[in-house]
Amino acid sequence: MAIVPAPLVHGTQLANKITKVIRKLGNEVVRVNYSLGSDSTGEPAIFFRVVLTDAASREDKLAEVTGRIARILFDEVRPYENWGLLPYFSFRSKSEQKARNDPEWI
């Protein structure tokens, strides 16, 4: 599983924590990227972008897979409690990202 760290605005502590947690996400995850910024109401936020395998992106699996991944990142990184960051999650399939090749997802 490839891991691409984001800019370390909060220093290495947050980045290290996220990297450790990403390793626990399993084979359904192709890649996780994230960035820090503000959400639509101006609150500090962390935006996770998760590329899933095509099999894990199937409609009948998607709710379970995305719910589990978001829960692990939320519960183990604790972005809100420990870093004051509201976490947001986006999910794409591997083939969708290949077709789009959006740099912020690479």
Partner 1 sequence: MAYHDDLLRQALQLIHKEPRNPKQASLRRAVSTAYYAIFHLLINEAVANWKQVSLRAALGRAFDHNIMKAASNRIQDTRQFAFAGENPRLVAALKDVAKTFVQLQEKRHIADYDNTTFWTKTEALAQVKSAERAFETWEPIRNHPIAQAYLVSLIIRKRD
Residue 13, number of CB atoms within 10 A of its CB: 11
Helix (H, G, I), strand (E, B) or coil at 45: strand
Give the HSE-up count for residue 85: Cα atoms under 13 Å, Cβ half-sphere.
22
DSSP H or E run through 11: helix 11-22
| Residue placing its CB nearer to partner 1 in the complex, 13 or 82 | 82
Residues touching partner 1, count (CB under 8 A): 27
Q: Which stretch binds partner 1 (CB under 8 A): 8-16, 19-27, 28-36, 97-105?
A: 97-105
Binding site for partner 1 (CB under 8 A): 39-41, 45, 52, 57, 59, 62-63, 66-67, 70-71, 74, 80-81, 86, 88-93, 96-97, 100, 102
